[in-house]
Amino acid sequence: MGTGTVTPRYAIYLTPGIGGGDPVAIELRDLVDRWLGRSLLTETVEQQSLLDWPRAEIDRITTEPRRYGFHATLKAPFHLRDEYSAADLEQATRRLAARCDPIHIPSLRLKNIAGFLALVPGKELPDLHELANECVTELDTFRAPLTEPERARRTLSALSTRQLEYLERYGYPYVLEEFTPHFTLTNKLPATRLPVVESGLQALLGRLTDVEMRVDHLSLVEEPAPGAPFRIHSLHPLKGTQ
């Protein structure tokens, strides 16, 4: 990564309803896109008020997840090493996805994670953890080392010894045993606001969280410049043994 040069960051996402034909995943993605006010697939969505809440109120509590889009992170955003191109990363991601099976998520539940609300799988999913581990370890050769500002930002949170080791080794602390799959729906919210938003989201999501869905693509996503919205760079089918 050249000094002083603005370069994109890339990440590997699990993106329900993008690239595949599973109707539950598509319905969930459409609903969450309308909640966030933005789609990774089409970039824009019709701005709608939901739950009889003013659109401006929803926008205020979804600024962060709107930028990242509806997803679960499998490999956190990183800059490429100078010797690699986006095409190199795309080819490696395609090869990885081709030998991995689609992910089946039997159910989801809404969870408060340190003040923000997210959807998490209703039970442990070993296949999803294995897929995330492969993304983290096998694609790490493409990752440029953390810069000092990036390292400082990551260590603002209290990290365990193992998390610090993973930060140095993989550029992100919450990987391997520390990985917790989640689909973020809100910013960090005040404690007084959390119950209202959680109740509203439960009503909005309804039955969708109780129905099994299949996710059959990996998404390679790009942040073109610091602070810019992430967008789909390429989609890669999870073919495995199907």
Token pair belonging to 73: 């992170």
Q: Is 167 left (phi over 0), alpha (psi -120 to 50) or beta?
A: alpha
pLDDT tens digits, residue range 91-142? Answer: 999 999 999 999 999 999 999 999 999 999 999 999 999 999 999 999 999 9
Contact 136, 129 (CB under 8 A): no
Q: How many domains does the chain have?
A: 1
Token pair belonging to 75: 């490999």
Q: Is 62 left (phi over 0), alpha (psi -120 to 50) or beta?
A: alpha
Is residue 15 situated within a structural domain?
A: yes
The per-residue pLDDT for 149 is 87
The per-residue pLDDT for 151 is 87
The per-residue pLDDT for 43 is 76
The per-residue pLDDT for 62 is 97
Is residue 158 situated within a structural domain?
A: yes
Is residue 149 situated within a structural domain?
A: yes
Is residue 1 situated within a structural domain?
A: no
> Which residues does the chain have with pLDDT short of 70?
1-4, 241-242
CATH at residue 148: 3.90.1140.10
Is residue 242 situated within a structural domain?
A: no
Residue range(s) defining the domain that contains residue 127 = 9-237
Measure the CA–CA gap between 69 and 58, rounded to whole angstroms.
15
The per-residue pLDDT for 1 is 53
The per-residue pLDDT for 9 is 97
Is residue 3 situated within a structural domain?
A: no
- The pLDDT mean for the chain works out to 93
Measure the CA–CA gap between 201 and 215, rounded to whole angstroms.
22
Is residue 36 situated within a structural domain?
A: yes
